[in-house]
Amino acid sequence: MNPYIAGILLGLVLIASFFVSGRGLGASGAMKSSVVAVVNTVAPDYAAQDAFYSKYVQNGQKPLKAWLVFEVLGVLIGGFLSGAVSGRLKLGIEKGPRITDRRRLILALAGGLLFGFGSQLGRGCTSGSALTGMAILSSAGFLSMMAIFGTGFAVAYFFRKNWI
Amino acid sequence: MGPLAPLEIISGDWNLFLALIIGIAFGFVLEQAGFSSTRKLAGVFYGYDMVVLKVFFTAAVTGMLGLLYLSLFGWIDLNLTYVNPLYLGSTIAGGVIMGVGFIVGGFCPGTSVCAAAIGKIDAMVFVGGIFLGVFLFAELYPLIESFYMSGYLGSPKVFQSLGIRMGVFALLLTLVAVIMFIVAEKVEKFVNKGA
């Protein structure tokens, strides 16, 4: 799809999200809810008294009954449907031409770990903090966008062999 | 009239149901835009494919202008919408860590879910990494908490921070985006000519 048309459609989805729920799109928040739910199931006493988890489980809150959890389930379905209509459903690993599958998977794990940690510290990821924050004109959104992409450009040179 | 859920025009259960529908549209558009491909995503940092920049800034500007006009027409009350709070230290540090995560892993959380949905194994591993990273943050939270809460400046809007009017800022951001699109198209042509 033409990237500018895709961008306009994405912007319209973002507006719909604000109009319906008063908040924008997100992704990392759903992963946080999942981690909280797992810890709360495995070790409920620990979750109830821990400084981080207790924020999301007090007063009988159900961590998985959260707006972003439903939204990200939708992303999974929507991505699958799009892949199906465009003939892109295929198990496989995508990587730069000069690295092994093993290296790609280790880097993917490390990148995910950094993103998971950073999204909690920064109170949201590329969708929830940067994109949504920019649309609602929040200073935090602009700062977040500049920090993410600025750092990406600043360190890209050192990781070039993984991609080109 | 809007936002519907905060004004209790729709119930909490309807809000969750519509979250699913909005998510489906979000995932469908991300995948159609090519964001399920890690090499396309990484392209923005090397100039061989600028699709991330084009889609991201078109979406941000569309969202911004849409919300401004809806607010001018009185269709949405922007005092009831969520505005990300600004904590200087953790916003910047979190962004820097995410930036490194982007170039190392080749996805962000939303795009990794999308790519995992069409069968990309590297994306599934990335999602697993996110769970580990969140868990690590949660376990280290007592050590991080004071930094996490430092530099709190409320939930300012960017035009207030810059001391200019909202409409002026919106016009400037739109112009900056158009200039970036022109530059992005030229960079793409230049980089791919050499290859």
- Summarize pLDDT for B4-24 with one digit per residue, the tens: 999 999 999 999 999 999 999
Cα end-to-end distance, chain B, whole Å = 53
Residue B193 reports pLDDT greater than 90: no
pLDDT at A58 over 90: no
| Amino acid found at A134 | M
Q: Quick check: B195 pLDDT over 80?
A: no
- Measured between CA atoms, the residue of chain A closest to residue B150 is A121
pLDDT in tens, B128-161: 999 999 999 999 999 999 999 999 999 999 999 9
Largest CA distance in chain A: 52
**Buried/exposed A7-26: b ≥16 CB within 10 Å, e otherwise:** bbbbbbbbbbbbbbbbbbbb
Q: Is the pLDDT of residue A151 over 70?
A: yes
What Å distances lie between residue A133 and A25, B91, B119, CA to CA? 10, 12, 30
Task: Give A130's contacts in chain B (Cβ within 8 Å).
Answer: 56, 95
Between A71, A104, A137, which is nearest B23 by CB?
Answer: A71
Distance from CA of B189 to the nearest CA of A (A): 16
Q: Based on the fold, state whether residues A102 and A43 are members of the same structural domain.
A: no
Co-location of A82 and A113 in the same domain: no
Q: Is B89 exposed, middle or buried (0-12, 13-18, 19+ CB in 10 A)?
A: middle
- Which of the four pLDDT bands, split at 50, 70 and 90, describes residue A132? very high
The residue of chain B with its CA nearest to that of A89 is B118
Given A60, A90, A120, the domain boundary residue is A90
Query: Mean pLDDT score of chain B, rounded to an integer?
Result: 96
What is the per-residue pLDDT across B81-110, written as a single tens digit (0 to 9) for each?
999 999 999 999 999 999 999 999 999 999
Consecutive H or E run containing A39: helix A28-42
Helix/strand/coil for B11: coil
pLDDT band at A25 (very low <50, low <70, confident <90, very high): very high
pLDDT classification of A60: cutoffs 50, 70, 90: confident
Q: C-alpha A126: how far from its chain's center?
A: 7
The ipTM is 0.97
Torsion angle of C-alpha atoms A81, A35, B96, B160, degrees rounded to 10: 80
Token pair 């790519």 is found at: B115
**What pLDDT shows up at residue B171?**
97
Q: What is the pLDDT of residue B124?
A: 98
Whether residues A7 and A84 share a domain: the answer is yes
pLDDT bin (cut points 50, 70, 90) of residue A41 is very high
The last residue of one of the domains, among A46, A69, A90, is A90
CA B61 to mean position of chain CA atoms: 12
Q: Please report, rounded to a whole number, the percentage of residues in chain B having pLDDT higher than 70.
A: 99
Asked whether the beta carbons of A48 and A57 are under 8 A apart, the reply is yes
Question: Inter-chain contact A132–B84, Cβ cutoff 8 Å?
Answer: yes
Taking an 8 Å cut-off on Cβ atoms, the answer to whether A140 and B155 are in contact is yes
A110 and A10 Cβ atoms separated by less than 8 Å:
no
Q: What is the C-alpha separation between A67 and B21, in angstroms, rounded?
A: 11
A60/chain B closest Cα distance in angstroms:
17
pLDDT confidence of residue B2: 87
B chain contacts of residue A2, beta-carbon cutoff 8 Å = none
Q: Where does a domain end: A29, A60, A90?
A: A90
CB A90, CB B117: distance < 8 Å: no
Q: Encoding tokens for residue A69?
A: 């959890």
* A73-131 per-position pLDDT tens digit: 999 999 999 999 999 999 999 999 999 999 999 999 999 999 999 999 999 999 999 99
Residue of chain B whose Cα is closest to the Cα of A22: B81
Q: Does residue A2 sit in the same domain as residue A82?
A: yes
Residue B128's identity, in one-letter code, is: G
Nearest CA in chain B to A148: B99
What is the band of A33 on the pLDDT scale with cuts at 50, 70, 90? very high
Phi-psi region of B58 (alpha: psi -120 to 50; beta: other; left: phi over 0): alpha
For residues A37 and A76, is the Cβ–Cβ distance under 8 A? Answer: no
* B1 band by pLDDT with thresholds 50, 70 and 90: confident
Residue of B4, B14, B31, B188 best to disrupt the A interface, most CBs of A under 10 A: B31
Contact state of A27 with B113 under an 8 Å Cβ cutoff: yes
A6 vs B contacts (CB less than 8 Å):
29, 32-34, 55, 58
**Beta-carbon contacts below 8 Å between A and B:** 523
Query: In chain B, where are the structural domains located?
Result: 1-32, 35-194
Above 90 in pLDDT, residue B183? yes
Q: Which domain holds residue A155?
A: 93-164
Nearest to B46 among A14, A95, A160 (CB): A160
In which region does residue A114 sit, left (phi positive, over 0), alpha (psi from -120 to 50) or beta (all else)? alpha
Q: How many domains does chain A have?
A: 2
Q: Which helix (H) or strand (E) holds A13?
A: helix A3-21
Cα–Cα nearest to A151, from B100, B44, B50: B100
Among the partner-chain residues A25, A71, A164, the one whose CB lies closest to the CB of B48 is A164
How far apart CA A16 and CA B125 sit, in angstroms, is: 31
Closest Cα of chain A to B5: distance in Å? 5
Residue type, A104: R
Instruction: Note the pTM of the prediction, 2 decimals.
Output: 0.96
The residue type of B9 is I
User: Are A118 and A70 in a shared domain?
Assistant: no
Asked if A114's CB is within 8 angstroms of B100's CB, the reply is yes
Do A101 and A47 lie in one domain? The reply is no
Neighbours of A45 (CB within 10 A): 8
Tell me if B91 sits within 8 A of A147, measured CB to CB.
Answer: yes
Query: For chain B, what is the largest distance between any 2 Cα atoms, rounded to a whole number of angstroms?
Result: 57
My answer on whether A100 and A84 are in the same domain is no
With 80 as the cut, is the pLDDT of residue B194 above it?
Answer: no
